[in-house]
Amino acid sequence: MTAFWNQPDFDDHEQVVFVRDAASGLSAIIAIHSTHLGPAAGGTRFWHYVEPSAGMRDALRLSRGMSYKNAMAGLPAGGGKAVILADSNRTKTPEMLAAFARAVDGLGGQYITAQDVGMSEADMVSLSQRTTHVAGLPGQGGGDPGPYTARGVYLGVKAAAKRALGTDDMKGVRVAIQGVGSVGGGLARYLAEAGAELILADIDAARAAALAEELGGISVSTEAVLSADADIVSPCALGAILTEESIASIKAKAVAGGANNQLATGSEGRLLVDRGILYAPDYVINAGGIISVLRHIDSAGDDEINARIDRIPDRLEAVWQESAATGATPAEVADRMAQRLIGR
C-alpha cells in the first residue's frame, strides 16, 4: 500500500483525518492543509469514487487549493476540505450526516465546512444542528454562493479580455463556457448583458441549449467547447480539464473560468504559456463564493463582500504582471504568492 503522505498531492498538510462510522455507513476524509491565517475552511463534497484513492487525492488537492484561495482573497481563514465517500447509489442518510457533523465538531473549530458538490443547503442545515462549525448557512446572510462566484468570474473574464485582447468591452467578444450551472449560467447572463457572443456546453445538453436560446448564443457538446472558435474559454464545471491534448486544441487567447483545479497535473500552465494563451489561476478568479460564505468569520456585510470581490481583477493583474516579468507561469506565480501569505 502506498502511503498518501508520499504522494505528490500531499503538501505538508497539518492533519488528514479518516472518519468511519460503521453504524451509519459513513466513510469520509477531512484534510486540513493550513491554519496559518485562521481556521481551515472549505466545503464538503459528497461523491462516489470508483477508487478510494481518488477521493484522497481530491481531498488533498482541494484543501491545498482552499488555503491558496482564502489567502489570495485576503480572508482570515486557512484551507481545508472534506470528502464523503458515497457508494455507487450515492446513498445519503440523516444518520450519515449526523456522524459526519460529530466528526467536524470533534476537531474543535480547526475545520469549518460549507456546501460543495453533492451537498445541499438542507444538508448543511442538518450538519449545523450538531456542530457550529458550518459556513454559508441561510441565517448567516450569504445564501447560495454561486451568484457571488459568477460575479467574480465575470470580473475576471473582463480582466483577461483586457490583457489578452486589449479591451474589457465585452461586446462582440466570443466566450465559450463549459458548464452552465449556478456559476457558469450566472456568468453567461452577465456576459450576455454586456453584449458578448456565447458558446455554451453542459453535461445536461438540454440545459445548455435552453440557456443558449434564451441568451441568443449557441450550444455545443462538452467535448467540443474547449476547442470552439472563441476568444476566451471559461471552464465552469469539474476540474482537471486542461490536459496536453485539450490545450493543443484551444483556439482562444485566454482561459478564465470558475472550475477548481483546472490544470490536470499542474504542469499544463507551461503549455498554455508556450501557446500564448493567458491563464487566470482558478482559485484567484473563483474566490467570490468563498468570500461570501465566510462572511461570518469577521462579520462582513454585503458592501464589504462586494468590495472584496471587486478586487479579484487587481489580484489577477498582479499575477499576470509578475508572470510577464519573471517568466514563471501565472499558476506558479499565484502559488508562490499564496505560499508567502500562509508562511511557507
Instruction: Convert the pLDDT of each residue in 261-290 to its tens digit.
Output: 899 988 999 999 999 999 999 999 999 999
* pLDDT score of 142: 59
| Grid cell at residue 325 | 516579468
| Grid cell at residue 311 | 478586487
| Grid cell at residue 2 | 502506498
Task: Give me the helices (H) in the chain, please.
Answer: 52-72, 94-106, 121-128, 146-165, 182-193, 205-215, 244-249, 268-274, 282-285, 288-293, 302-310, 312-326, 330-341
Chunked mean pLDDT (size 10), the chain, 344 residues: 84 97 98 97 95 93 93 95 97 98 98 92 95 88 81 98 97 98 97 98 97 98 96 93 97 96 93 98 94 87 93 97 98 97 95
Cα distance between residue 305 and residue 42, in whole Å: 17
Cβ 244 vs Cβ 266: under 8 Å: no
* pLDDT score of 143: 66
Cα distance between residue 42 and residue 32, in whole Å: 9
Render 102-115 in DSSP notation, one character per residue: HHHHHTTTSEEB-B
What is the dihedral angle through the alpha carbons of 206, 211, 214, 220, rounded to the nearest 10 degrees?
A: -70
Cβ 91 vs Cβ 82: under 8 Å: no
Q: What is the pTM of this model?
A: 0.88
SS (H, E, C) 31-92: EEEECCCCCEECCEEEEECCCHHHHHHHHHHHHHHHHHHHHHCCCCCEEEEEEEEECCCCCC
Cβ 254 vs Cβ 276: under 8 Å: no
* pLDDT score of 144: 75
Q: State how far the alpha carbon of 145 is from the alpha carbons of 66, 181, 287, 289, in Å.
A: 15, 12, 10, 4
Active site residues: 81
* pLDDT score of 111: 98
List the domains of the chain with CATH numbers.
4-66+77-135 (3.40.50.10860), 146-341 (3.40.50.720)
Cβ 28 vs Cβ 83: under 8 Å: yes
Identity of the amino acid at 58:
D
* pLDDT score of 117: 86
